């Protein structure tokens, strides 16, 4: 059965009427939003040949992509069904065109980042700086952490009541928000540091790779201007970190009952320190997400709790294959979801986080998997479409680490990276 639940941007939308036949059909007036589940679409189209996938074509829920294994099957289906009412699909008239798999796009990266807190000058960035884009969004979404099956990830539904949810919102809305480019934040317990990392790779010859890893206080812009045409991939990211010496004070009284519940969170062993001392409140407007990242190991202890309030979202977890480059434990705030390095053997899993649920990231799930909130207005889960509300507010509780991290996931651990240059040399990069 095809299990393709999230909208899939790999397929081009047909432009003109004339198209070369492909095994992929773009079908308008059909989908969960008009009462036709993916399973029914699959079975209606299976009579023409083997269907290998049914995708939401976009976020409307009324346009789908049906993928056949053979082009002949797609040709037969288009001939029979285009413009005709389809009895198997509630008598709806289908509008069908051929679709194609999108060639990997190149997108300017640096652009998106520079509007964040550092307010750097966009016009000084070279236009030629480009990153390979991998836009495959296909994966099923779990409702339960046990189905997600990532060690150390737990989800408790209805962790707080509706009244508690309203109280929390009223409290944070009474306090000062810090505006980032796309979302607002509040920090409690410790001061947050936002700093920019820049990692670029220029591919000079098949034998020699030249890497630059620079910070804005050194030769950041100069480096960007080094023969930008040679820059094949790279990123600029904001590392979110805390200043462990800047204690702002105890966490506010309005989260004290949450802290108590955290102390008895199911599944945790007694010797784990459950005393949280840092809280970040994030407010995401509808459609805004958070790019893939691992919370900095050296900055925070193992347990990270995140409470969803006022709205739901999907959270995707990604485990990148060994030997490929990891963002240096960075949180990337303003990167487009498609601009992240994603290779075909990246493991991806997703879970639905409803309002009032508490997510715990610990162990492998916290240290080795990137977590990511797609930038969607509608989350498609099976044949359900869940429209994001006008905002989602998350309360992320962490414990600031006082010594180095000694986790077992050295590859992802900034405390344990002996020599970053050495690691850079083993990095696999994307090339055109
Ligand atoms: O909004 C969330 O639930 C997650 C926030 C997060 O991952 C972070 O602030 O590092
Ligand atoms: Fe995070």
Predicted confidence (pLDDT) per residue in 285-311, tens digit: 999 998 888 888 888 999 999 999 999
Tell me, using a 6 A CB cutoff, whether residue 282 lines ligand 1: yes
ipTM field: 0.99
Q: Which CATH superfamily is domain 24-99 in?
A: RRM (RNA recognition motif) domain (3.30.70.330)
Question: Residues in the chain with pLDDT < 50?
Answer: 1-8, 104-137, 196-238, 324-341, 418-432
Choice from 187, 189, 282 to test ligand 1 binding pocket (greatest atom count within 8 A of CB) = 282
Distance CA 228, CA 127 (A): 8
**Which residue has a Cα nearest atom 1 of ligand 1?**
394
290 Cα to the center of ligand 1, angstroms: 7
Tell me, what's the pLDDT at 10?
A: 59
Residue 394 Cβ inside 6 Å of ligand 1? The answer reads yes
- Please tell me the number of the ligand nearest to residue 359's CA: 1
Is the minimum distance from the CB of 331 to ligand 1 under 6 angstroms? Answer: yes
Ligand 1: atom nearest CA of 307 is 3
Could you tell me if the CB of 370 is within 6 A of ligand 1? no
Residue 201 Cβ inside 6 Å of ligand 1? The answer reads no
- 351 touches ligand 1 (CB under 6 Å): no
> What are the boundaries of each domain within the chain?
24-99, 139-191+239-416
How many A from CA of 293 to the centre of ligand 2?
6
- Return the CATH fold of 139-191+239-416: Jelly Rolls (2.60.120)
Whose Cα sits closest to atom 10 in ligand 1? 295
Q: How far is the CA of 294 from the centre of ligand 1 (A)?
A: 10
pLDDT of residue 328: 39
| 295 Cβ inside 6 Å of ligand 1 | yes
Q: What is the pLDDT of residues 117-176, one digit of tens each?
A: 222 333 333 332 222 222 334 578 999 999 999 999 999 999 999 999 999 999 999 999
């Amino acid at each position: 059965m095809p299990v393709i639940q999230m909208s899939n941007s790999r397929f081009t939308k047909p432009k003109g009427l004339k198209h070369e036949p492909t095994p992929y059909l773009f079908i308008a007036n059909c989908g969960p939003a008009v009462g036709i589940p993916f399973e029914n679409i699959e079975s209606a189209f299976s009579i023409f040949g083997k269907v290998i996938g049914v995708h939401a074509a976009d976020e409307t829920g009324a346009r789908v992509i049906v993928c056949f294994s053979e082009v002949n099957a797609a040709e037969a289906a288009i001939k029979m069904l285009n413009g005709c009412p389809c009895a198997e699909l509630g008598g709806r008239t289908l509008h069908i065109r051929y679709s194609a798999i999108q060639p990997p796009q190149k997108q300017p990266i640096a652009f998106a980042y520079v509007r964040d807190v550092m307010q750097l000058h966009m016009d000084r960035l070279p236009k030629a700086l480009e990153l390979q884009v991998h836009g495959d969004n296909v994966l099923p979404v779990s409702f339960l952490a046990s189905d997600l099956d990532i060690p150390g990830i737990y989800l408790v539904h209805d962790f707080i009541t509706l009244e508690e949810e309203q109280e929390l919102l009223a409290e944070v809305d009474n306090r000062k928000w810090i505006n980032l480019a796309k979302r607002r934040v509040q920090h409690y317990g410790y001061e947050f540091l936002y700093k920019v990392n820049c990692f670029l790779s220029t591919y000079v010859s098949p034998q020699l790779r030249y890497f630059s890893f620079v910070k804005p206080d050194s030769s950041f812009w100069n480096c960007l201007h080094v023969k930008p045409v040679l820059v094949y991939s790279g990123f600029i990211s904001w590392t979110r970190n805390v200043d462990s010496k800047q204690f702002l004070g105890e966490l506010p009284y309005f989260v004290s009952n949450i802290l108590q519940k955290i102390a008895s969170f199911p599944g945790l062993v007694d010797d784990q320190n459950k005393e949280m001392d840092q809280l970040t409140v994030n407010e995401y407007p509808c459609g805004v997400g958070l790019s893939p990242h691992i919370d900095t190991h050296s900055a925070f202890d193992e347990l990270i709790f995140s409470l969803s309030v006022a709205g739901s979202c999907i959270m995707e977890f990604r485990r990148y294959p060994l030997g490929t480059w990891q963002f240096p434990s960075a949180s990337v705030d303003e990167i487009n979801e498609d601009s992240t390095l994603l290779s075909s053997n990246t493991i991806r899993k997703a879970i639905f986080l409803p309002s009032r649920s508490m997510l715990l990231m610990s162990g492998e799930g916290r240290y080795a998997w990137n977590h990511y909130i797609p930038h969607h207005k509608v989350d498609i889960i099976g044949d359900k479409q869940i429209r994001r509300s006008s905002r989602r507010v998350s309360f992320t509780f962490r414990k600031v680490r006082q010594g180095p991290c000694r986790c077992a996931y050295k590859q992802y651990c900034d405390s344990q990276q002996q020599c970053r240059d050495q690691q850079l040399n083993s990095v696999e990069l994307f090339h055109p």
